[in-house]
């Protein structure tokens, strides 16, 4: 018989496997709207990993990101599709989307789970929340900008460009993206992964990382074939997580986290 320590170790992973299976199974019925068939399988893997490492708190952070990100993708979808600037598959996420959004966060979750020192755990938890605040800010700013941006500019030259251009920014999209980062950071605080004082740090990191991604889109992404949107998303979230973690380290002597 397995001992108590073994049961305690495996229980969160078993709960994650079962719960995630129940929640995702309905998405396999009917046409894919939120996730492709392969996307469902990869989302199941991600969900098990999150529940096994951060429990319901980390899981809820990502569920909020997924629901808000999927919802905002459908705003003005008909107009975006008519203009040829909508997300592929009408926004249904595939494996590349799942891991493009969650690869950095998954590494942070594993770090928070693997290290036992409270300060190190707190650092990884902050980076985890910041990575998803960054990704939600990116998604919201892009989708709102494409739907409602009245004037869009290339971030590197500030010259007017059509909506949906790689590296384009708009006032409407930028403000909406900041709102998305605030919401995601508030969720991270509400579930106890970060302190209230870490909320502005997550938002600031998300803002900087999202604009850096726009610069990458305007310069490198249009010239390098292998620099896909999913890979740029990994870079984007890695920048956001790293900035938040670096900010905590730099301010730790002045800021009681």
pLDDT of 167: 87
Return the number of other C-beta atoms located less than 10 Å from residue 106's C-beta.
21
**pLDDT at 88 > cutoff 80:** no
Contacts (Cβ under 8 Å, ≥6 apart) of 159: 153
% of the chain residues with pLDDT over 70:
92
Of residues 104 and 221, more confidence is placed in 104
DSSP single-letter state for residue 87: P
**pLDDT at 7 > cutoff 80:** no
The answer to whether the Cα torsion of 253, 197, 237, 163 is positive or negative is negative
**pLDDT at 176 > cutoff 90:** yes
Q: What is the pLDDT of residues 241-252, one digit of tens each?
A: 999 999 999 888
For 109-124, the DSSP string reads: HHHHHH---HHHHHHH
| pLDDT tier at 92, thresholds 50, 70, 90 | confident
Mean pLDDT, range 84-97, rounded to an integer: 75
**pLDDT at 257 > cutoff 90:** no
For the chain, the structural domain boundaries read 56-251
Of residues 81 and 184, more confidence is placed in 184
Of residues 153 and 90, more confidence is placed in 153
Mean pLDDT, range 211-227, rounded to an integer: 89
Mean pLDDT, range 22-46, rounded to an integer: 88
Q: What is the pTM of this model?
A: 0.92
Would residue 30 be called left, alpha or beta, if left means φ above 0 and alpha means ψ between -120 and 50 degrees? left
Distance CA 36, CA 126 (A): 30
- Length reported for the chain: 257
Q: Which of 1-5, 86-90, 240-244 has the highest mean pLDDT?
A: 240-244
pLDDT of 82: 72
| pLDDT tier at 255, thresholds 50, 70, 90 | low
| pLDDT tier at 1, thresholds 50, 70, 90 | very low
**pLDDT at 36 > cutoff 60:** yes
pLDDT of 200: 95
Distance CA 181, CA 200 (A): 9
Mean pLDDT, range 67-75, rounded to an integer: 90
Distance CA 98, CA 168 (A): 24
Mean pLDDT, range 86-109, rounded to an integer: 86
Q: Which residue intervals of the chain are DSSP H helices?
A: 4-24, 37-73, 77-83, 95-114, 118-148, 171-190, 199-219, 229-251
């Amino acid at each position: 018989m397995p001992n108590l320590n073994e049961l305690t170790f495996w229980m969160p992973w078993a709960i994650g496997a079962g719960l995630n299976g129940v929640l995702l199974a309905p998405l396999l019925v009917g046409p894919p709207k939120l996730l492709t068939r392969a996307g469902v399988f990869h989302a199941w893997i991600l969900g098990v990993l999150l529940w096994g490492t951060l429990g319901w708190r980390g899981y809820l952070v990502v569920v909020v990101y997924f629901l808000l990100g999927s919802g905002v993708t459908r705003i003005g979808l008909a107009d975006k599709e008519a203009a040829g600037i909508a997300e592929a598959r009408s926004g249904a996420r595939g494996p590349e989307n799942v891991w493009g959004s969650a690869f950095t966060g998954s590494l942070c979750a594993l770090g928070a789970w693997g290290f036992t020192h409270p300060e190190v755990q707190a650092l990884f938890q902050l980076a985890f929340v910041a990575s998803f605040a960054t990704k939600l800010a990116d998604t919201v700013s892009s989708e709102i900008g494409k739907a409602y941006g009245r004037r869009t500019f290339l971030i590197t030259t500030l010259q007017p460009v059509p909506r949906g251009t790689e590296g384009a920014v708009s006032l409407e999209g930028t403000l909406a993206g900041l709102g998305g980062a605030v919401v995601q950071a508030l969720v991270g605080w509400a579930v106890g992964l970060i302190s209230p004082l870490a909320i502005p740090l997550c938002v600031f990191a998300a803002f900087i990382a999202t604009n850096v991604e726009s610069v990458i889109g305007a310069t490198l992404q249009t010239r390098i074939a292998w620099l896909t949107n999913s890979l740029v998303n990994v870079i984007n979230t890695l920048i956001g997580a790293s900035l938040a973690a670096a900010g905590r380290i730099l301010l730790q002597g002045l800021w009681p986290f």
